[in-house]
A and B are shown apart, each in its own frame.
Chain A
């Protein structure tokens, strides 16, 4: 799974800490998601979707490995 959360965060001019506070997680969790070390739950993905004002598919993409 690849994501463009870092880009979306930059568009909204938010730091990792600010984004974390808005969706109720720790800064380290945001860092892990951005670095593709952790795939968030559906609830967290939908919270991000609501915050970014975009569908989840716009910033979370399946990688080729996930398709196999």
Chain B
């Protein structure tokens, strides 16, 4: 799945998952991304094997008087992709820092 192009938003979702978050709504909260972005990203990653999901046990949720939830976690592939994406994003960060200096110089 090396061909997967991971966007900035995608990297954020992966990063949130790697921090142990596993529900869509929590990821939204942490990353600030809207639901219309988070869920499609999760589905795409799952198709490409970066993420796997599991429905929690229905009995357990029922006992808790709430609907059962689907939770997501990173696969090893997902972890590797996140690392690669992290390197690329670090480059982006440099780009932004450079840009900042250039701006200071010209003003």
A and B are partners in one complex rather than unrelated chains? no
- Residues of chain B touching chain A, judged by Cβ–Cβ distance below 8 Å, are none
- Residues of chain A touching chain B, judged by Cβ–Cβ distance below 8 Å, are none
